[in-house]
Structure 1
């Protein structure tokens, strides 16, 4: 029997400069976000069946979230931190990683090791990678801004993989990613 005290999930998909994205909310907090897939229009179909489809909101916090995402992907950069998130059920360490990652401004990056240190878990770079690999809210929790220690692009589990990560960093005018360091 479903728990009647838990608000249902609502989901919609919408066009952006990089393709069709999908988003799901519980109340007005984002619980899931999906970047475009390899096939046009597949972002929404990858959401699990527990979200009910709704039309694209035209007013209120949900409409504002979509507008911010669209503007950001159009190059009018926004840190997206004003979009509320629902991280209920997310492990504590993952929430710490997401908080550190969400604090990275557009155009900037951290290494997996730097994120681990900021989470008071030095030496946990692999665990940071695993947490980011299961990030249910990519872009809004900007896991694409976390790079390997040598600034190379590794392991992006969102649709499109490293190509999508590279596209997002280019939109954010991030310098130095993918370039080897001299020292």
Structure 2
């Protein structure tokens, strides 16, 4: 099964994608430099080396770039390689993938959906291990009061806010005179 990784341009900067066959195994949001994005992409994984991506991966990269330009796409049909992650993480990611672009869901609501009310913190910890942000849209998960906490991607909460603004889930910040 061919494996590799590549960078691709988006409205928020160069993102990275890693694959094994036709399945995505990781996505990296932009770091300060392209080399930083590649390092994040390959953290904890053997570097397979850059290569020409299979058609399914190229299409996924294009769709991610379009989503980050405001084109709604839930990316639910993208095949992921998450088999080595704990079952709880995979369950959290499945529920998270069900959140439509332009919408949000709370950590507690995900825990309740999984039949584990009171486990919002565990949901947050699982999302912190998300190897495929955007495809598993952890940026769409917020606190029960709608506030944003603990986004582990580069740029932290500012990146999360920008992604939610692009999707129309929250309004763009209004400029002020001061």
TM-score (structure 2 length as normaliser): 0.89
Which residue does 2:153 correspond to in 1? 158
C-alpha contact 1:10 1:26 (8 A) present in aligned 2:
yes
- State the distance in 2 between where 1:128 and 1:166 align: 19
Structure 1 residue 52 displacement after superposition: 2.0
Unaligned runs of 5+ in 2: 174-178
Which residue does 1:125 correspond to in 2? 120
Indicate the SS of the match to 1:25. Answer: strand
Unaligned runs of 5+ in 1: 1-6, 179-183
C-alpha contact 1:13 1:44 (8 A) present in aligned 2:
yes
In the TM superposition, what are the counterparts of 1:27-42 in structure 2 within 5 Å? Answer: 27-37=21-31, 39-41=32-34, 42=36
C-alpha contact 1:9 1:50 (8 A) present in aligned 2:
no
- State the distance in 1 between where 2:70 and 2:146 align: 22
What's the CA shift string for 1:79-131, capped at 9, x where partnerless?
11121111111100111100000000001011110000111111110100000
Aligned residues: 170
Which residue does 1:12 correspond to in 2? 6
Structure 1 residue 9 displacement after superposition: 3.3
Which residue does 2:83 correspond to in 1? 88
